[in-house]
Structure 1
Amino acid sequence: MTDWSAIRHVVVLMLENRSFDNVLGFLRPAGSDFDGLDGAGCAGNDGIAPWPTPEGTDCSTVPNPDPGETFDDINAQLFNGPITGVPSMSGFVANYKHLGGNGAEIMHCFTRNDLPVLSKLASSFAVSDRWFASAPCQTWPNRFFVHAGTANGYENNTLDGFPFPMQTIFNELQGVEPWKIYFHDFPQTALLSRLWPYFANFRLIDEFISDAAAGQLPAYAFIEPRYYPDVVQLPNDMHPPHHVPFADALVARVYNAVRASPNWDNTLLIVTFDEHGGCFDHVPPPAATQPEPPRPMQRFTFDRFGVRVPAIIVSPYTAAGTVLRADGPVPYDHTSILKTVRNCFGIAGPLSAREAAAPDLSAALNAPFDANRGPLSIDVPAPIVDDAALQAANGRDVTHMQGLFALAAKSLAPLGGGTTVAQHIQDLIQSKNAPAGAADARTPAAPTTAGAAGAFARSVMQKILARFATPKPPPEAPQDSIYRGQ
């Protein structure tokens, strides 16, 4: 087995809201050492079994509408009744029907033909069938876990805790190993206020491609997808009901850049999803280590993992066809990425008790160098962007998360205009204590259509990036007491 000294670059691409079964359940036939769907008993979801995309049909926007993903919805999906014992995994259909969806759609699962890139990588390198979302919660809490080892007590997407003050793996790498966050329109990581002094490390996705080509990948690279439509592209985050070929094409773009890079020989690429997004999976999530003692009024102690999500691990030291499971009793979750980065680069820690308990991904380095070079590239036709579909996507009302991103961008706008990080945090704290209905006149109201909200969020980030331009951010990192005051 190869040790961590062979890896000098860890790249993570985290997509949105798909369960393991939804994406990879039909990857392998029954009888293999792979806990997929062939032969899996799934009684209890109103008699509807998981079903693959029928030959010759297009299910790229299934399920539609967006399933439930709040903490309460997820518990309904898992337990279908009282929240006790081992989850029955029997409430997906009932919950989706309750929200107005066609129950059969929540049981749909993609095939190799639907997702050729993800399927190819899962077969060519390693796939874990025991990687769980860090919590049975929405997107933001699970993304906070991959950066900070905790959701800070929040079960759902909310701006109630904004700006979020948690210490992150990026802060611990700062000044020790180079890191960058690459994004398309608005990075969810921008919600974390301890990263604001380092906005110079936030770069657009095209810079990832050029960094890879130049052999200049940072030690740790985190990639966020496109959450909004724009004037030429649809979202590529794979969030239902967004068209999945755009996400598959993004995976190809990232893999091809890494595979062709001079850094390939020393790179570990992880492709995963933040949470299941309400999509069916048949494996009950187990108990988990609480990241920290619960806070007053916190109704969930984060002592359970969320639903299984896809996780594909790629490196020239990973044997083809590997099905990856942790050696000990604790399965993989998003804090395994933290443990991997920490062990790879010798960073002291951990950020939380959850991370301390997590296994790292050293088991994926199970082959000698060059034993598996993998495909030189994965070529897929560029998804066709239909003008009518693009216009419709831009004209739709924002989703809940898109709307929250736009509001967050509105709150971040002063950082693009000269306000210091320390002053802005103080201003935000004061605004929380302002009388109800008090308006912030410094920025315009956030737009309510997806196209306009995306354009607004992009414009805010462009101004912030221009202000915090390389070679280094302004010397204004606040004292730690500022963050504790949040």
Structure 2
Amino acid sequence: MVVSWLSLLACGQGMPIKNVITIMMENRSFDHLLGFLHLSDPAIDGLDGSEYNLVDTKDPTSEKVFVNQNGYDEGPDDPGHGWEDTAEEIYGVHDLKPPIKLEPKMIGFAQNAKSHGHSTLNPLSMFTSKTAPVINGLATEFAVFDAWFCSLPGPTDPNRGFWMSGTSNGAITNYNGTHWSQQSYFDFLRTKGVSWRAYYQDDPWAIMYFQDMHLKVNHQNVFTLDQFFTDLKSNSLSRFSLLQPRMTTTAAGPPTWQHPDASVTEGERLLKSIYEAFRASSYWNDTVLVITYDEHGGFYDHVPPPEQVPAPDSVVAPNGFTFERLGIRVPTVAISPWIPKGTIVHKPSGPQPNSEYDSTSLMSTANKIFGITEHLGLRAAWSGTFENIFSTTMRTDCPTTLIDIPMYTQETLDKQRSLPLNDHMSIQVQFYCQENNLGEDCGKDIVNQGQASDFIVREAQRFMHNLASN
């Protein structure tokens, strides 16, 4: 039995973890990336290969689409993951509106894909330890959470809002051009005297959607990801570090965020570089690295999301959704030498009897590490914390390097740059058109990801420079 540090607090021994590093990747469900770990460790709530969806949930004789181990490194399409799409994937009924009084059976993924003219196989095509070796390897080497849910059943930006502020302030769709008015966790930490920095590749993206991040006292702590590696080496890391991957494709490389139209492998390369730099740093002994994902991205998961959970606040979504149920499970891994190898974290033990892990659990646990008793919203005050996963014995067998990832080719870059814009790139183009006052016709001539990438990188630099100059 592992002895937790909690049992030794009465003896005057403090928690071994002092700092938090976190990165949120993009659009993958737990089963999609980690589900087949169940075959090697049945204690993990994952897949056995018998799971399937019907392409028509009303017709029991319709085609069955089974889960398989042939996940696409670059997907054939972008599965539906808006609020309505997610409702259909969970409940198996098209065009649902809140409140929903049906049993969540996780049966509508193939049906939803068919309704969009997408591949019905893609949402049920999964990765394994061979095809996603970095995230699977870290999950088995340290702690994997098999009951960690995204904060709302919907798309990227509102879920990232929860991760960085404890709420989406009523939003269930992606960024609409209006700055987020809720207090960010960055500003919250500043008011509590806790040092923090946010780092990004190419584009600060959702970090800068918050209105309070446009204040000099906050945006002066936002840097490119290169600075994160420098801070690790120079022993100048803040107590809280938030990392954001890249959606763009330039000479610096392909996207690393693992969005369905980008390579999973390139995200693995980023995670490998972060882990190895962290492992080699002086922060290894007193810091936890948490890798998580924003939402399921339309990919199958067999576990129904919890219902009747606390809303973060009193703000209701435009469609009447009251934020009283969570989104679909996402992969989450915690890394520290104080975590016994092979740790599997199921449901939390508190703070409330019905607490669950969701994206706000990162903040609620960080608050405990930093000695903060307040929370950003009711959801964060309720969400499960994981300070109990740290033991009293520091491991010495943690790997210093991870499996090598083959290098991308120029052909890979050219192919990615030729793709049409995804919804996030379109939003970012418009974000910089607006923020940099580039006029009504701005962005109208951008037709592919290469043009969008060049624009976003250039205008992000101008945007951050303008903020620093004011």
* Fold-level similarity (TM above 0.5): yes
**Which residue does the alignment assign to 1:309?**
330
Alignment match of 1:191 (pick from 209, 221, 232): 209
Question: Which shows bigger deviation, 265-274 or 288-297?
Answer: 288-297
CA RMSD of aligned residues (A): 2.1
TM-aligned CA deviation for residue 218 of structure 1: 1.0
TM-aligned CA deviation for residue 206 of structure 1: 1.0
TM-aligned CA deviation for residue 169 of structure 1: 1.1
Structure 2: state its 5+ residue gaps: 7-13, 56-62
**Which residue does the alignment assign to 2:464?**
465
Distance 1:378 1:8, change over 3 A: same
TM-aligned CA deviation for residue 338 of structure 1: 1.0
- Equivalences for residues 411-450 of structure 1 within 5 A: 411-413=434-436, 441=439, 444-445=442-443, 447-450=446-449
* Residues 20-60 of structure 1: CA deviation (Å, up to 9, x unaligned): 0000011132772110101664454642221112xxxx831
Alignment match of 2:158 (pick from 141, 156, 164): 141
- Equivalences for residues 321-470 of structure 1 within 5 A: 321-325=342-346, 326-328=348-350, 329-365=354-390, 367-371=391-395, 373-385=397-409, 387-413=410-436, 441=439, 444-445=442-443, 447-468=446-467
Alignment match of 1:252 (pick from 272, 295, 300): 272
Alignment match of 2:74 (pick from 57, 61, 78): 61
Distance 1:201 1:40, change over 3 A: farther
**Which residue does the alignment assign to 1:179?**
196
Alignment match of 2:301 (pick from 267, 271, 281): 281
Return the letter of the residue paired with 1:255.
Y
TM-aligned CA deviation for residue 286 of structure 1: 0.9
TM-aligned CA deviation for residue 138 of structure 1: 0.4
What is the aligned-residue identity percentage? 29
1:120 lines up with 2:141 in the alignment: no
* Residues 325-347 of structure 1: CA deviation (Å, up to 9, x unaligned): 21243220000011012111123
* 8 Å contact from structure 1 (residues 318, 372) kept in 2: no
Return the letter of the residue paired with 2:101.
T
TM-aligned CA deviation for residue 399 of structure 1: 0.6
Question: Which shows bigger deviation, 181-190 or 80-89?
Answer: 80-89
Distance 1:185 1:373, change over 3 A: same
* 8 Å contact from structure 1 (residues 232, 390) kept in 2: no
**Which residue does the alignment assign to 2:179?**
163
TM-aligned CA deviation for residue 214 of structure 1: 1.7
**Which residue does the alignment assign to 1:32?**
42
The two structures have a TM-score, normalised by structure 1, of 0.85
* Residues 346-370 of structure 1: CA deviation (Å, up to 9, x unaligned): 23421111111111121221x2242
**Which residue does the alignment assign to 2:260?**
240
* Residues 432-463 of structure 1: CA deviation (Å, up to 9, x unaligned): xxxxxxxx639944634222222222222222
Return the letter of the residue paired with 1:196.
H
Distance 1:42 1:84, change over 3 A: farther
Q: Give the 3-state SS of the residue equivalent to 1:52 in structure 2.
A: coil
CA distance in 2, matches of 1:443, 1:318: 53
* 8 Å contact from structure 1 (residues 158, 404) kept in 2: yes
